[in-house]
Structure 1
Amino acid sequence: MGFKSRLKHGLLTAVAAVVSMTPPFMFVTDAQAAPRIKDIADFEGVRENQLVGYGLVVGLNGTGDSLRNTPMTRQSLTAMLERLGVNASEGNLNTRNVAAVMVTANLPPFASQGSRIDVTVSALGDARSLAGGTLLVTPLMGADQQVYAVAQGPLAIGGFSAQGQSGSSVTRGVPTAGRIASGAIVEREVSFDIAAAPEIRLALRNPDFTTAQRVAAAINGSVGADVAHAINPGSIVLRRPADYQGDMVALVGQIENLEVSVDNSARIVIDESSGIVVMGENVRVSTVAIAQGNLTISITEDPFVSQPAPLSRGETVVVPSTGLDVQEDEGGLVVVPGGVPLRQLVNGLNALGVTPRDMISILQALKAAGAIQAEIEVM
């Protein structure tokens, strides 16, 4: 038997620069243009609304709810049949072809009446699978308890489940949840008159003072007037000029494609479970010397059998034999100059030949020594 203390698997990726954690580390530059305003900010009021509903799925091949254990399914089935003119209150319902489900959907902004949206269906009782089922008419309500859409249709299931008579079974994916593409029809619109609005607010997805100022400056330069003001790191107020020929929709369409260079704080994100390290381009390091070496300890067991001499009274025994080998890689100090950007930091770490797990330890040690100017977030 044996064990090694060397860690050999992992990956390092970067947002502004990609660093491959399989030595030597690679730094890939990004020559793409700056992002657009529509990619870094949301317009206040232009958002989705979440919908939810309770319904029944029928047509299951014996994989639905057991009506004895799920009284809600029995009550819903009885109430539905009575609305259709079938008196089932006194009957002994014992089918497993029906399942109670929760139906969820997102109502897109400015969705018009009659348009279709996708819905997700999830089992609520003890159904084993929703494969082959059909969702019956299900009203979808918003937070105000108003019906905004109605869903119905056959389910598409990504998983499956099979079971043999001996009790063996296999399951892939989640057979108790599925989707219906374009399975709901919008019945009520969410009114929002953006065209007549005198002003609108832009919300940055990653709040930052510098980015907010750059967005306001880019808008003012494009419109030719002082119409945008950053009121905090995450919000920019956009006012429509009095002499502007178009409405607010035209103004938003004019400025949403403007390119703005975003600025982010220096941050390093570490996922210790998978060995992933993400470093932003603003990470800086002070002058520091780093030494790293790998220690490998191998223990082998090779027992042998000791037999007594012929015609003697001895016993045959197993004699243990242990072999121990210790190897330590030679590693010297590598000096990383201070104030360098991410590229030079990566080049300095390349000289060490570190593994992903070692990289995590080095970064945490640099932070503890006060030699790295970045926030470290451990996931």
Structure 2
Amino acid sequence: MKHDPHDPVQAATAVDPYPYYARLRTERPWYFDERLSSWVAASADLVERALQHPDLLVRPPGQPVPPALQGTAAGAVFGRLARMNEGVPHAAARRALRTVLAAWQPAEARRLAAEQASAVWAARSADDAQALYRVPLLVMAQLLGVPDGDCPRVARQVEAFVACLSPLSGTAQLEAAQAAAAELSGCFDRGLGDWAPPQDPGLAREVFAANLVGLLSQTCDATAGLIGNTALALGRDATLCAEVQAGRQPLDGVVAEVARHDPSIQNTRRYAGRAVRLGAGVEMAAGEAVLVLLAAANRDPALHAQPERFDARRRQVGHDGFGSGRHRCPGSDLAAAMTCGAMAVLVQQPDRLCSAAAGFGKRPVYRPSVNARIPLLTL
């Protein structure tokens, strides 16, 4: 069952990509992958340099929106997202997101996640794998002030919208994403929820609305993967689960170590806006792409002693799966809080966790993705 992926993109959803990442760090920390037509950065040092470099951009020069989305409602949202912009547009949208996030307390997000997890997992539908998405999306909708009756509908629309962010989506998925983008943008632009645009002359109302949609869509994959991979870590280690249940091991440490050891977002991309030099013999021409292997950097021995060992008491330094630099995920603390809330419910049902992990081990399948590691886990 365990075999090397064909390339670093396939590694994101491989059964065990970490030996492959280790070989890349040792043998080819920087190389050009012909299959991907992209450079690849695998060591912690080169990953950090790539993420921090001012001339490595989040979109290809001259292509702010993917061709398949140009002229569509989803493309309009995509082009306004902080995570897909640089310079002044990025800064204004980022300030707006910081304003929103600063108003939320992690303890409140954790409490809401526990409530939603209790309700969702008590239902035990045949669609249990979707609970990984549903819990954080419902919490985020609540935090945004979406009326309770509208939260499930908003969550469904976000699940449809995220299809436009993946190159693996087909025509039907993209069409559903267009409809979802139009509805979500309209809802937030009309004032669905308690949030109004911050008083920022550099921020248009439609940009603020788009970034609320973006906040929800980022939650969809990143937090779903963190919840799923944390559930697997606890379900595979009965001793650790018992320590958490008894209060001897804080959940925060477990979640932080999962974010390092088995992150939900395994890689990200950057594009050279001009010729770039990251170090001796490490150069890119203008327009070239680099696949930045966050998951490989997380286990670099240059950052961590015994990096392959899962240690919930590890002092976290360096990469943690949420990126670095000006495009580091602004909701990392929120994602961790929601994961802790959901896990606080599940550790009280250790047999359920162990059963889910055992069932997943017999047929490990991750949701198709080019960068996210989200187990199709029935809890």
TM-score by length of 2: 0.18
Higher-RCO chain (CA-CA 8 Å, sequence separation at least 6): 2
Q: Which has the higher helix share?
A: 2
